Structure 1
């Protein structure tokens, strides 16, 4: 009898400093983790290094779920080949003018972000479609051919096409695409009507421009990654994390890089949703501290909140559905510096993986949050035997910074931690207040290699009473990748007051969206119809409002009897988001969305395998809290069981993370192996 081949389901998250891996074997349930430094020159190299470090043969991988910041980094750094954009005559500068908002109301010197597409590569053609989808002015064919010839002469690889009102009729965009491909058959062409068929041209145009700019970058990245995997006999499926909280096939990722702008953090949100099922916490504040950034989002009833008005930068909106994740430049690699006024500052500049924190001994000279934690005794100088940290170099760099602000080395290190934690707390406050939530109703979930070092301090400053550090918190986004489902999101614009809605039209829209969404999953290799869930939402607002609220709507055929329930659901959602609602004002539908979700298998529960009689205490060391050295016990996090209870101050070390329990905290391990910390007030 032929032996069964063990196959692995692998999640990989490529961050700014580290590349994390979590994997589980589908037959035995065995789980492994790995963490390597990100290879910035080619991030796909670190993916293979992490797999090798985990001891997994690439030929034995059935699914590789991959979260990457490649598209985001390319946009932030404006590091992509020149792209072009074709629009309606008179709208050449829409993507640069924006919505005429001001980031700082009273700052006369503020400047807009660098345009996604340079002005000299933005072209216009005469055409016009009205809001009913009727042609007011046919596309000028001669002008279209002239633009196509000019683009061919530039050698540009990708072009976005966005015409006014094309969300109701894409005829002119399709004509322009066909003409462009006549002259440039090998060029990437993206249409705004296919990217996101919604009104408000600035968001639609900008999202299309982002897609066009990123497409050559992501096509090359996917090609390089798949080529490397193929050379190592990879025969499984490569799935890429989406910003909306699911995964998609690599071919879909090539065509829709705009769906990957929060690809990495989305894995952490998925893990927070998994925590809801395993631990019963209905309201979780997901936080993730890596080497470069601090990410925070809200997870309720197992799902992350979705936004359709994400801003990559000021006045750079991305109007695809995305998890509402807020990020600030506060991570383990964030650099301490002194501003012109002589004040200590931290970040957003990061040492990243190259050169990394000073204590890594890779050429870094500026002190970071990691160096501060090391000097305060909160990090083991050997990282539990994995890496020798240079304490002397970190102390020298911190002393140089301390001298500039007139504080002691330790006071400066502790000041850096406090400032970094306050930045994190401000990000938490921003996302909770903007969504009308009370922090006291949430559990603070700490993810990332540097997360649990700071979690209790951040939670306490926000009056959040409980912190949870789940198993494999140091590679949480990679873990979350393995619990994500295949997902396809589609949207159709249709504005109408609810009471005068054409239900036949709405049912037709929803039926078409569901069919297309299911077909998209099938095209990506998911053909088990019984495991596909369809989630409907309507983007709704009060008549006369400018912004919409996502409102769930029931499955099946909608009838007149369905409308009162939909209206009440809208009032409830509006109240939850903004703290106010009114039945005196009529609600309206703006657009309809369908998410098709293909259910993927979850990993087996984490086994708590403490050996009877094993010592959970690894040793002791002095840790600096509030200006005083305190002798603290150091615990082995992997050895803790449900019967163990720990009172702070203490240090709990895991394979890829470290938890700091300050004074006035106590912790225990729950049934799923997560560390639950209660904070006293």
Structure 2
């Protein structure tokens, strides 16, 4: 009996659902793309899998593993379509969700709108109990009050409950007892404990994390249960795994219990794919640029690795405005996300200015050119009119684009109100969305103390290669790399991600008061827990590596930084690591000031799975013809169109040019050259010196 050798990655985005099939036995990679079905995301997944397996000539029984990532958690929170939840918290902290950090994300907005808590005040219950900042019990849990709270929540028809007690990250016994009482009083109602999902300091963020997890648990539990059952019914023998926001993969069981950990799974997959392609291309320092149908994501990758963050902000009131959302204690890959995608809608503002995004047409109704009911012009519509996209070869020719409808919509909604031509409106959309992305990238890189001109760009996503040249010019980057299968690269990211987990233990202490034997015990316990979880997710016994870090600050500071730790730690080595990290981030080194430790962190990772490497094996007859394409330097002018699959490795071409593949299109301006390398990447050199 043959061992199943097929692995499949599935990325459900706001506009498209992407697929990558890796057949290890035959050393081949196949891709697919389907419009997302927002009413039932599983439908697009199952239909796309059927087609992909048929194209590959294999059955579902040949599939060893499916790895899935989804925007469903994010969408539930943004659209406020989650469960009816309640919160039980420490007496005196009932309103902490509304008070938040008491910080204004816009100092000069007199009508500042704050994010509404997921739990309205009548469903927030306070009970008597108290642990202090050292984990010492000061007031016992009033169990009768917990029962009364549970009955009050039951009367209000709650579907899930979050529990967040003060300092429970140091002693979770009260939360666990409360969970036992809730199980008796509310049988079948899922309960989220803050000490399980976010066992670390900062009450507001911890409470938000518990509430978001409770809010999405009923829907995500049903979705994953139904999807897993449908795949098993089709004959899937291998496991279904999920991508976590920090870039690792986990079991369905873990994901159903901790769905908040999936909130950034799609963007994390893109960054993971970028690191993979960077290793293949031999580029260690780059800006990952992932532009899909709804959003654009940028991630700074140095020495082959992306940075991680321990806080993520969800459901911003001012979309993509830092400080306007719900802060969550969730480990994530540190990237920036803005409302700039192929589906971003262009309109005339109240001041008579052309604006683009952040609202998106999504997959339903989609851009005007999709002919699915969209009426307002989008970035994809502009790219069609500018000649970047072929109306006959979109998605490899499977989806014809309606140019006439776009021209009419552009004239009605933009050109006529602005007093410009349709072509000028389209060029304006393209320029504005590129400028928006460039401004966001500059700020993101500058906050890390870096100069973007030092980096190459790795571009992917359905719209990424279309806009990469223009964005790179604005950022003054020397080189753009477009990997094979760029339009579905995030789905590949699922298949090159290693099983991984992040654990944390909090406790504020001065560095000179730390008991190092106790720290060693904390790390030993976390390592044992992480190893068991990774082996459950498919890691081989013993095949787990650990990275340690600590959150630290100078005494008196309100915020902390993540400090990588050496293998052997003591007061001197940790102090040196903190000073080095602080100087790298802030270009200063302050000595003689007491330091504090807040949280000890452990990242556990198994080996990365391998995938067959793409190769460029074209016959050199790549020229498909010419069509008019718009560039700022030339206006609308004839431009060569190439077939990516027929480009010969090492063969250099000069721009302007358009290179077409099934899931995306690469645009190269008149001042650039490009070539295919031996790994199937397209290298675009903006200085005329590609290697």
Q: Is the 8 A contact 1:272 1:302 kept in 2?
A: no
The aligned counterpart of 2:627 is: 621
Is residue 2:391 matched to residue 1:398?
no
- CA apart distance, 1:315: 4.0
- CA apart distance, 1:642: 2.2
Match of 1:49 among 43, 47, 68: 47
String of CA shifts for 1:615-643, please: whole Å, max 9, x gaps: 11111111111272121111111222322
Alpha carbons of structure 1 residues 448 and 170: separation in structure 2 relative to 1, 3 Å? same
Is residue 2:377 matched to residue 1:340?
no
Partners of 1:385 and 1:146 lie apart in 2 by 62
Q: Is the 8 A contact 1:618 1:635 kept in 2?
A: yes
- CA apart distance, 1:265: 1.0
The aligned counterpart of 2:683 is: 676
Deviates more, 1:600-609 or 1:393-402: 600-609
The aligned counterpart of 2:301 is: 299
Partners of 2:586 and 2:481 lie apart in 1 by 28
- CA apart distance, 1:37: 0.3
Note the residue ranges of structure 1 that are not aligned, 5 or more in a row. Answer: none
Paired residue secondary structure (2:97): helix
String of CA shifts for 1:523-542, please: whole Å, max 9, x gaps: 3343x223211111111222
- CA apart distance, 1:274: 0.8
Q: Is the 8 A contact 1:207 1:318 kept in 2?
A: yes
The aligned counterpart of 2:400 is: 388
The aligned counterpart of 2:644 is: 637
Is residue 2:423 matched to residue 1:410?
yes
- CA apart distance, 1:150: 1.2
Paired residue secondary structure (1:544): coil
The within-5 A match list for 1:269-348 is 269-312=271-314, 313=316, 314-348=324-358
The aligned counterpart of 2:128 is: 126
The within-5 A match list for 1:221-300 is 221-300=223-302
The aligned counterpart of 2:613 is: 605
Paired residue secondary structure (1:35): strand
Is residue 2:669 matched to residue 1:662?
yes
Task: Name the TM-score, length of structure 1 as normaliser.
Answer: 0.96
Paired residue secondary structure (1:90): coil
Deviates more, 1:386-395 or 1:578-587: 578-587
Is residue 2:600 matched to residue 1:592?
yes
- CA apart distance, 1:58: 2.5
Paired residue secondary structure (1:482): helix
- CA apart distance, 1:286: 1.1
Partners of 1:574 and 1:20 lie apart in 2 by 40
Partners of 1:271 and 1:581 lie apart in 2 by 35
Partners of 2:359 and 2:60 lie apart in 1 by 35
Paired residue secondary structure (1:518): helix
Paired residue secondary structure (1:530): coil
Paired residue secondary structure (1:273): helix
- CA apart distance, 1:6: 5.1
Q: Is the 8 A contact 1:338 1:345 kept in 2?
A: yes
Is residue 2:36 matched to residue 1:38?
yes
Partners of 1:217 and 1:417 lie apart in 2 by 37
The aligned counterpart of 1:580 is: 588
- CA apart distance, 1:5: 5.6
Deviates more, 1:479-488 or 1:376-385: 376-385
Match of 1:207 among 198, 206, 209: 209
String of CA shifts for 1:322-354, please: whole Å, max 9, x gaps: 111211111001111011111011111111111
String of CA shifts for 1:151-195, please: whole Å, max 9, x gaps: 222332211100111111112111211111111121111111111
Note the residue ranges of structure 2 that are not aligned, 5 or more in a row. Answer: 317-323
Partners of 2:279 and 2:303 lie apart in 1 by 9
Deviates more, 1:141-150 or 1:576-585: 576-585
Paired residue secondary structure (2:126): strand
Q: Is the 8 A contact 1:98 1:315 kept in 2?
A: no
The aligned counterpart of 1:103 is: 105
Q: Is the 8 A contact 1:6 1:25 kept in 2?
A: no
Q: Is the 8 A contact 1:99 1:315 kept in 2?
A: no
- CA apart distance, 1:284: 1.6
Match of 1:448 among 456, 461, 464: 461
String of CA shifts for 1:482-539, please: whole Å, max 9, x gaps: 100111111001323333321111111111111111111133343x223211111111
The aligned counterpart of 1:94 is: 96
Match of 1:469 among 455, 471, 482: 482
Is residue 2:361 matched to residue 1:351?
yes
Q: Is the 8 A contact 2:507 2:597 kept in 1?
A: yes
Partners of 1:129 and 1:6 lie apart in 2 by 52
The aligned counterpart of 2:164 is: 162
Paired residue secondary structure (1:62): strand
Partners of 1:360 and 1:530 lie apart in 2 by 51
The aligned counterpart of 2:321 is: none
Q: Is the 8 A contact 1:395 1:409 kept in 2?
A: yes
- CA apart distance, 1:596: 1.4
Match of 1:72 among 71, 74, 88: 74
Partners of 1:677 and 1:585 lie apart in 2 by 49
Paired residue secondary structure (1:239): strand
Partners of 1:355 and 1:289 lie apart in 2 by 19
Paired residue secondary structure (2:397): coil
String of CA shifts for 1:9-38, please: whole Å, max 9, x gaps: 111100000000111112111110000000
- CA apart distance, 1:57: 2.8
Q: Is the 8 A contact 2:295 2:337 kept in 1?
A: yes
Is residue 2:11 matched to residue 1:13?
yes
Alpha carbons of structure 1 residues 668 and 580: separation in structure 2 relative to 1, 3 Å? farther
Partners of 2:426 and 2:95 lie apart in 1 by 47
Q: Is the 8 A contact 1:162 1:191 kept in 2?
A: yes
Partners of 1:315 and 1:625 lie apart in 2 by 38
- CA apart distance, 1:270: 0.6
- CA apart distance, 1:462: 1.5
Is residue 2:658 matched to residue 1:651?
yes
Task: Name the TM-score, length of structure 2 as normaliser.
Answer: 0.95
Partners of 2:296 and 2:585 lie apart in 1 by 24
The within-5 A match list for 1:484-633 is 484-526=497-539, 528-555=540-567, 558=569, 560=570, 563-611=571-619, 614-626=620-632, 628-633=635-640
- CA apart distance, 1:289: 0.7
Partners of 1:581 and 1:78 lie apart in 2 by 45
Partners of 1:376 and 1:653 lie apart in 2 by 15
Partners of 2:546 and 2:270 lie apart in 1 by 23
Q: Is the 8 A contact 1:446 1:455 kept in 2?
A: yes
- CA apart distance, 1:225: 0.7
Partners of 2:407 and 2:260 lie apart in 1 by 43
Q: Is the 8 A contact 2:499 2:538 kept in 1?
A: no
Q: Is the 8 A contact 2:201 2:598 kept in 1?
A: no
Q: Is the 8 A contact 1:635 1:652 kept in 2?
A: yes
- CA apart distance, 1:578: 2.7
